[in-house]
């Protein structure tokens, strides 16, 4: 495309010189049309080159800026396609409430106070326990929550756990899809569901 635009510019210059020398308005008009076509071809060519450089030149630094799910959950298969590992519940006594691997999900046999999974940072607040129905409602919301890269919880903006940390805003539906769980300290699911219900 860039070569074609250069050829069109050359044709436009030749037509301009001939039009001015001969006093032909037809040659001058054709020169202007060739200049416009050259500009369009040049823009299309530079966009194509920029797009190919962007896809070919993506470095590991660019990939590290992509959102990473919390420890213990499976990483997305692509930058825009989040996936979540969901174990099968066929033949188990699971009621259907599923969280990413590595999170603490209480079972009928488990005590009320469960320890955090060993792969979570020791200063991480516990996960908020929500009913399956509320979790489904929250997963459909577009409200914004905040996450800390490499940490398993999502939070409200006023959560004390976020003080002094680099946060990233996400729609709560995307945070849930990436495997983040609600913080028990700021209870984002409770607040988001209260805001989404008609008053």
Q: What is the pLDDT along the chain (199 residues), one digit of tens a residue?
A: 667 777 878 888 888 888 888 888 888 898 898 888 888 877 777 777 666 676 655 544 444 445 555 555 554 444 554 444 445 445 555 444 444 444 444 444 433 444 445 577 888 899 999 999 999 999 999 899 999 988 999 999 999 999 889 999 999 999 999 999 999 999 999 999 988 877 6
Q: 3-state DSSP call for residue 144? A: strand
- Tell me the backbone φ, ψ of residue 59, rounded to 5 degrees: -100, 175
Q: Measuring CA to CA, which residue among 174, 172, 177, 185 is closest to residue 98?
A: 177
- What's the pLDDT at 113? 41
Q: Which residue has the tokens 């050259």?
A: 38
Helix (H) or strand (E) holding 18: helix 2-22
**Res 95: pLDDT:** 45
Instruction: Output the six-digit token pair for 114.
Output: 């469960």
């Amino acid at each position: 495309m860039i070569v074609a635009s250069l050829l069109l510019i050359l044709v436009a210059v030749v037509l301009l010189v001939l039009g001015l020398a001969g006093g032909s308005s037809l040659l001058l008009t054709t020169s202007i049309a060739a200049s416009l076509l050259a500009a369009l071809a040049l823009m299309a060519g530079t966009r194509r080159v920029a797009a190919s450089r962007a896809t070919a030149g993506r470095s590991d630094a660019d990939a590290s800026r992509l959102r990473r799910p919390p420890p213990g959950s499976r990483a997305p298969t692509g930058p825009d396609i989040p996936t979540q590992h969901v174990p099968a519940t066929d033949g188990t006594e699971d009621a259907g409430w599923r969280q990413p691997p590595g999170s603490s999900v209480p079972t009928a046999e488990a005590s009320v106070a469960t320890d955090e999974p060993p792969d979570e940072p020791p200063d991480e607040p516990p996960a908020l326990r929500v009913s399956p129905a509320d979790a489904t409602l929250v997963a459909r919301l577009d409200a914004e929550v905040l996450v800390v890269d490499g940490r398993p919880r999502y939070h409200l903006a006023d959560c004390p756990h976020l003080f002094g940390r680099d946060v990233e805003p996400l729609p709560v539906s995307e945070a849930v899809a990436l495997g983040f769980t609600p913080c028990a300290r700021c209870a984002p699911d409770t607040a988001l569901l209260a805001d989404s219900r008609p008053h």
